[in-house]
């Protein structure tokens, strides 16, 4: 079966590169029927919310339905392959997330960011360092000093083993010259159960997206020691940045993009790029972002490709340091 897929992919590649040559640089492609918008993660999460909002606004802009489909499973493999392998005719796009840069390193799939077509970056999600309200630690340096002196004493959670928030914490420890497991990682099924554990006192630290812990931070149940970013965010302006607090200047952020299948023709890519740039500049989008405590990000296809390439190398290094590379 694999062979037929490859042959079919080759055939479409040839056909598509032909049309790409003819139609280059005319960014006026428009969908004439419903578009499928694949989301590799479950309904209710951050990727889902951003993608559904984007789909709704693209639907308004182009006047055809954008159907959001949650293709979950396989730690993101299922949905990402669905995007990568779809017909690159503009009628399938999807939310490719930072996992495209981690999955292949840990051996879940052979697919890399080169097997999809980046279109635009729509969200940047920095990781955070959270502790319970009764925790003795008041700064990220205190926490790291304790971990340095007592490796293995503290536990942390936030996602599955090798998931992006695990890499955030282990990478920070590694960058600060410690063993990546100086704080032991307790896997969880996503951020919500990890935050539950943190509030219940089951783990000492959680390192999910700052936006996911925002409610608990604001209500005082949880204390944010830092977030792993280099620019302050308006949602929680008082929380310190790791870029400033740590000698290594460590930062890590997940991202959400709009991307197309492998070998999407240039004119379709730039048409999407243009439409998304207009959505991102709109008041509705700004309002939506503000309601979630996130910043509006605006990055086109060329910059996104470079960003993905750079992330891929950086995350690969962390995964090798943690010892999860296969």
Partner 1 sequence: MDVLAIFTAVMEPHLLLTVLLCTLYGAFVGSMPGLTATMAVALLVPFTYFMGPAQAVAAIVATTTTAIFAGDISGALLKMPGTPASAAYVEDSYILSMNGKPRTTLFTSLIAGVLGGIIGVIILAFATPQLARLSASFSSDEAFWLATLGLSCAVFVGGASVARNFASLFIGLAIATVGIDVAVGHPRYTFGLEDLYDGVSFIPAMIGLFALSELLRNAGSGEETRLGRISIEPLFTGLRDAWREIWHRKLAVLRSGVGGTVIGALPGAGADVAAWIAYALSRRFSKTPEKFGKGHIEGIVDGGAANNAAVAGAWTPALVFGIPGDSVTAIAIGVLLMKGLTPGPDIFTTDATLVYTIFGAFLVANVLMLLTGGLAVAVATHILRIPRAVLMPLVLMLSMIGAYAIMGSTMAIWIVLVLGLLGFAMAWAQIPLAPAILGIVLGKVVESNFMVSMMKAQGNLMGFFERDAAAVLGVVTLIVWGLLLVRAALEIIGRHNTLSAKDAKK
The Cα–Cα gap between 61 and 139 comes to 46
Q: Would you say 64 and 32 are in contact if contact means Cβ atoms under 8 Å apart?
A: yes
Subset of residues 19 to 48 that bind partner 1, contact rule: CB under 8 A: 42-45, 48
User: Quick one: which of 32, 87, 145, 218 contacts partner 1 (CB under 8 A)?
Assistant: 218
User: Quick one: which of 35, 95, 106, 140 contacts partner 1 (CB under 8 A)?
Assistant: 106
> Of the ranges 23-31, 121-129, 215-223, 225-233, which one interacts with partner 1 (CB under 8 A)?
215-223
Q: Which long-range contacts (CB under 8 A, 24 or more apart) does 177-180 make?
A: 177/248, 178/144, 178/147, 178/148, 178/151, 179/151, 180/321, 180/322, 180/323
- What binding mask, one character per residue, do residues 59-98 give for partner 1 by CB under 8 A, x or -? ----------xxxxxxx-xx--xx----------------
Query: In terms of Cα–Cα distance, which of 275, 299, 276, 297 is closest to 286?
Result: 297
User: Quick one: which of 221, 298, 309, 317 contacts partner 1 (CB under 8 A)?
Assistant: 221
Nearer to partner 1, 124 or 301 (CB): 124
Q: Would you say 199 and 193 are in contact if contact means Cβ atoms under 8 Å apart?
A: no
Nearer to partner 1, 72 or 112 (CB): 72
The Cα–Cα gap between 161 and 183 comes to 13
Nearer to partner 1, 75 or 267 (CB): 75
141 contacts partner 1 (rule: CB under 8 A): no
DSSP-based three-state secondary structure for 225: strand
Q: Would you say 180 and 171 are in contact if contact means Cβ atoms under 8 Å apart?
A: yes
The Cα–Cα gap between 186 and 170 comes to 12
User: Quick one: which of 16, 49, 122, 129 contacts partner 1 (CB under 8 A)?
Assistant: 49
Distance of CA 100 to the CA centre of its chain: 9
User: Quick one: which of 85, 146, 148, 184 contacts partner 1 (CB under 8 A)?
Assistant: 184
> Of the ranges 5-13, 24-32, 192-200, 307-315, which one interacts with partner 1 (CB under 8 A)?
192-200
Name the residues that contact partner 1, by CB under 8 A.
Answer: 42-45, 48-49, 52-53, 56, 69-75, 77-78, 81-82, 106, 108, 155, 157, 160-162, 184, 186-189, 192-193, 195-197, 199-203, 214-216, 218-219, 221, 288, 291-292
């Amino acid at each position: 079966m694999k062979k037929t897929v490859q042959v079919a992919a080759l055939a479409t590649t040839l056909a598509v590169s032909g049309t790409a040559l003819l139609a280059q640089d005319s960014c006026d492609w428009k969908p004439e029927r419903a578009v499928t918008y694949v989301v590799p993660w479950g309904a209710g999460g951050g990727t889902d919310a951003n993608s559904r909002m984007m789909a709704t606004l693209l639907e308004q802009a182009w006047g055809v339905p954008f159907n959001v489909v949650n293709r979950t499973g396989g730690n993101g493999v299922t949905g990402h392959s669905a995007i990568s392998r779809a017909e690159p005719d503009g009628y399938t796009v999807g939310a490719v997330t930072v996992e495209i840069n981690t999955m292949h390193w840990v051996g879940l799939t052979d697919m890399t960011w080169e097997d999809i077509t980046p279109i635009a970056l729509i969200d940047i999600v920095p990781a955070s360092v959270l502790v319970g309200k009764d925790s003795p630690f008041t700064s990220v340096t205190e926490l790291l000093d304790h971990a340095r002196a007592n490796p293995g004493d503290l536990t942390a959670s936030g996602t599955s083993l090798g998931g992006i928030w695990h890499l955030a914490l282990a990478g920070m420890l590694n960058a600060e010259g410690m063993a990546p497991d100086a704080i032991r990682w307790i896997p969880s099924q996503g951020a919500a159960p990890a935050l539950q554990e943190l509030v219940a006192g089951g783990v000492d630290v959680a390192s999910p997206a700052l936006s996911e812990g925002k409610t608990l931070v604001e209500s005082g149940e949880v204390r944010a020691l830092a977030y792993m970013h280099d620019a302050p965010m308006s949602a929680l302006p008082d929380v310190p940045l790791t870029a400033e607090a740590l000698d290594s200047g460590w930062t890590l952020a997940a991202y959400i993009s709009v991307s197309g299948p492998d070998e999407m023709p240039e004119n379709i890519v730039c048409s999407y790029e243009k439409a998304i740039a207009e959505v991102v500049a709109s008041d509705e989008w700004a309002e939506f972002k503000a309601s979630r405590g996130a910043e509006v990000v605006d990055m086109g296809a060329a910059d996104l490709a470079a960003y993905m390439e750079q992330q891929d190398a950086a995350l690969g290094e962390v995964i090798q340091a943690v010892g999860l590379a296969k």
